[in-house]
Structure formats: C-alpha cells, structure tokens
C-alpha cells in the first residue's frame, strides 16, 4: 500500500494573522452563545484544514521550492479565505481518497475527482469547478471514427474503474458487439499505446490528452463524448453542510471573477518545445536588455557567474520585466516564489536588483551542490533543471539514470531520463514524485540557446567596433562554454554570413 505523504504548507505572515483573527472571532462568537460550534467553526478554531489529494500534474506535486499544482492553488486560496493552514495528505488514487474521507469528516477530498453516479453514493460533492470531457482517440492515418458504432471491431482501451469504462459498460446494453479492454494503467499510458500503434482506440479525458499531445504526436482526436462529467471537491456524508457551503461560496466567487479560468490556464499552458523565436529575442535584447545589463554584470561578478546566464534566465522567466507577476504568485525579474525569496534573503521580489541577486544566489547554490567531478559543460544545464524543477527532482532523474545504466554526470544522458518524471508508472516510485521533466529539458535548452545568442551579439558589437576603427580585439567565447553553446554560435554565425 502506498504510504501517504504530507505537505505542511507555510503561507507566511498574512496567513498567521488571518488564522489568529479567525480564531479570536470564532471564540468570541461561541462564548457569547450556548450552541455547539458547527463543522466550519470547529475547523477555524483548530486553525488547520486537512485535504486528501493525489500526486500529479493536475493535483499536488513538489515544485522548485514549495508544493505546486492546480488543486494546490485552489487549496491555498480556500485556506487563506478561511484563515486556516492546509495540511495535505496524498493518496494514490480517487478510491483511496474517498475511502479515507469516510473516516475524516473534517477533511476535503481535492484530487481532481470526476464525479460519477457511483462516487456520489460514497461522498457529497460541492459545485463543479471544471468538467471532464471524454475523447475518443486513434492513431493518425487510421479510418475516422465518428460515432459509437465506429468503435465496434476496434481494439479499444480504457482505464479500469474510470468514467470511460462506466460509459462503455452502459452503452453495451444497446450495442452488444462493443468490446474493450480495461487496464490498470493511467490515461497517459493509454495515449502512448495509441501513439505507438499498440491500440487502435482509447477513451481518455481531455485534460490528459492536452497535457501530452505534444509528446504523443501520432494520437489524434476523433470525437468527444457527451455529456461531460463534473469535477468537484468531495465531503464526508453528514448532516452538517457548513464546510461544503463555504466551499460553494468560494467557487462561486472564483467563477464569477474569472480567477478560476486564469488559474487553470496557467497550468495548462506548459510549452514542451523551446522558444525558437530568435527574432523576438534579438529585438527584446536590443530594446529591453540595455537597461539591466550593468546590474546583471555586477551581480554576476559577485556570484562568479556569467552575466549572460543570468540575463538568459531572466528573459525566460519574465522577458526582462521587473514587475511581472504570475497567477500562482511568483514575481519579479527572476520570477521568484515566496519560499525562494525568503531562502535567498530577498525582501522585495519586485526590486529588480534583489530579484537578480536572489536568482543568482540560487543558481550558484545549485551549481555548487553538483559533483566536483562533473564536467563543466554539463553542470549548467543540470543546474538549470534544478532551478526549474527543484533539486529533488534532479536527484530523482540522476538516480533513475544510474539504475538504467546511464551516466549521471552527463547532460546528454540525464535529459533523456527527465521526461519519464511525468509518467505515472515512474513517478509513483520516485522520492519526489511527479515533475514536468520534458518542460525542464526545454527550459534548459532554451536558456543555453539564448546565452549563445547573447554571446554572438557581443561578438558582433565588437566586430563593428573594429570595423569603425576601434582597437579592442574581438573577445573569444569563454573557455567553459558548453559544446551546445559553441555549436549554436557556429550555426548562427554561418546563418548570418549569407
């Protein structure tokens, strides 16, 4: 049985003050009357609220410095609203979550749960904050499927115990020839089997398809099955609905002000491939970078880093916007989280110099924790992965590489392992769980490419100085530049020569 993990979440001074205020107000109101506190008041008095969730891209996972995930952001916001601290217990799947919920009347099941008629007998559910559409997917090039009858005679896969399996079971009454195989696999694995041709068709949820369509390019959508199943938080069946009512008010507000949609978009917008818009980067380097160049060079000198590395990270994080703020609360030039800022002694994330200093100190720390025997050209991209994902996920990838007989000190080897960190069959057995490994590879590759572009810009500027009669020689690329950067410089120089 999978051992539950717990995420004690510290939300800072604001949360502490909210907790204190809520406790005092609740205590005073109860002292003034003789009634027993309802469920919501009990939770406010104790100052904590437990959530039962799962580890994954749509729920809760370990980020670079703190917990992350769409459900986690909802949990955090709801607890701020109530003035309590969240305690998150991670269970392997919906069945385990709802089983646990029966014994925890003060907890909330927040595991991206798709509500079915069967699940509604096990728990009460709050308002739907999203809908799970079911897609029929097939391998590209196969005959199109436009209806349920088109599934007859195909090798169909579904996840065992899923709403998709329930749907086919219900349809078989009218279509007895409909056959399928229900496997104890995750929907990503089903998508991969269609992509590789090991299955003709799979029924999966839209969220899974959207998350991995850039990876499994040979899987295509044929049609979407109606109606959609709601996604909602679950509550223990009991006569006291005060906690569920508070959640209903919370989601009504998020829906009405558009915050829920913006938050969802911030987690679905996860580009897989590096940004190859060289023209846009060069334009921004011309127009925005000069304002920050001296500051970047000063901080780089203080931390023994290449200033172009800091500049490239800053561009990837905020496009050199010192006031940038994301929907999840990361802010500033280097887009630091609260946890990272605190660890790096940054008191104001919107102060550009403090932000650059914080990002530089963090990168310096991540570089220094890598093995001394690791080749210099491999250290930077691996440290960038840790900067993006967290050092724990990099450790997982390197350990997985070791078990697979690969070189743990080689970027070329480890980058082939990182995408596996998003596969359920793999991350469930890792110490730090799910991570967007493929996105981290793109992150590191994009930054190293932009470092090369900045180096090329410097060389071009110095060449122009010589052409105008300046006496300074052209600076050679730094001796510790990785082959990837050197090759990029060579290719860009050749491209610009014609």
Question: Catalytic amino acids?
Answer: 317
Query: CA dist 237 to 41, 99, 123, 293, 447, Å?
Result: 18, 12, 5, 60, 51
Q: CA angle at residue 173 from 171 to 174, to 5 degrees?
A: 75
How, if at all, do strands 156-159 and 108-109 pair?
Answer: unpaired
Helix (H) or strand (E) holding 121: none
β-pair type (48-53, 85-90): parallel
291: Cβ–Cβ under 8 A, 6 or more apart, which residues? 320
Q: In what order do the strands lie in the sheet with 219-231?
A: 181-183, 156-159, 201-205, 130-139, 219-231
CB 53 within 8 A of CB 110: yes
> What does R_g of the chain's alpha carbons equal in angstroms?
26
Bond from prior residue into 152 cis (ω within 30 degrees of 0): no
Q: Return contacts of 455-458, CB within 8 angstroms, 24+ apart.
A: 455/308, 455/481, 455/485, 455/489, 456/489, 456/492, 456/493, 457/282, 457/285, 458/308
């Amino acid at each position: 049985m999978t051992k539950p993990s717990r995420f004690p979440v510290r939300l800072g001074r604001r949360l502490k003050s909210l907790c204190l205020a809520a406790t005092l107000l609740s205590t005073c109101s109860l002292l003034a009357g003789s009634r027993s506190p309802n469920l919501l008041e009990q939770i406010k008095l104790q100052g904590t609220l437990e959530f039962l969730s799962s580890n994954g891209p749509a729920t809760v996972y370990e980020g670079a410095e703190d917990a992350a995930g769409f459900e986690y952001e909802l949990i955090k916001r709801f607890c701020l609203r109530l003035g309590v601290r969240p305690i998150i217990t991670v269970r392997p799947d919906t069945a385990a979550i709802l089983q646990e919920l029966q014994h925890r009347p003060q907890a909330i099941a927040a595991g991206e749960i798709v509500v079915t008629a069967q699940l509604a007998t096990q728990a009460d559910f709050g308002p739907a904050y999203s809908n799970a559409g079911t897609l029929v997917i097939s391998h590209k090039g196969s005959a199109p499927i436009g209806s349920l009858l088109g599934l007859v005679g195909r090798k169909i896969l579904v996840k065992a115990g899923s709403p998709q399996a329930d749907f086919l079971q219900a349809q078989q009454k009218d279509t007895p020839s409909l056959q399928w195989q229900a496997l104890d696999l995750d929907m990503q694995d089903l998508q991969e089997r269609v992509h590789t041709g090991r299955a003709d068709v799979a029924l999966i949820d839209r969220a899974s398809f959207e998350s991995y369509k850039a990876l499994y390019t040979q899987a295509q959508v044929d049609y979407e099955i109606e109606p959609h199943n709601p996604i909602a938080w679950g509550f223990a069946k009991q006569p006291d609905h005060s906690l569920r009512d508070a959640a209903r008010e919370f989601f009504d507000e998020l829906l009405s002000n558009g915050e829920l949609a913006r938050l969802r978009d911030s987690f679905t917008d996860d580009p897989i491939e590096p940004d190859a818009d060289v023209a846009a980067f060069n334009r921004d380097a011309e127009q925005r970078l000069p304002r920050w160049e001296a500051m970047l060079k000063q901080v780089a000198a203080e931390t023994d880093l290449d200033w172009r590395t800091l500049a490239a990270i800053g561009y990837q994080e905020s496009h050199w916007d010192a006031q940038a703020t994301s929907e999840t609360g990361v802010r500033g030039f280097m887009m630091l989280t609260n946890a990272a800022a605190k660890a790096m002694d940054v008191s104001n994330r919107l102060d550009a110099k403090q932000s650059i200093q914080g990002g530089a100190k963090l990168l310096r720390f991540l570089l220094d924790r890598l093995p001394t025997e690791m080749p210099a050209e491999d250290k930077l991209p691996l440290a960038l992965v840790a900067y993006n994902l967290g050092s724990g996920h990099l450790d997982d990838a390197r350990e997985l590489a070791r078990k697979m007989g690969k070189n743990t000190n080689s970027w070329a080897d480890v980058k082939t392992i990182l995408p596996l960190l998003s596969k359920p069959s793999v991350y469930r057995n890792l110490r730090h769980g799910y991570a967007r490994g493929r996105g981290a590879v793109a992150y590191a590759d994009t930054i190293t490419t932009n470092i090369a572009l900045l180096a090329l810009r410097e060389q071009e500027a110095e060449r122009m100085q010589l052409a105008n009669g300046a006496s300074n020689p052209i600076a050679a690329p730094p001796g510790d530049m990785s082959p990837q950067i050197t090759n990029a410089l060579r290719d860009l120089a050749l491209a610009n020569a014609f």
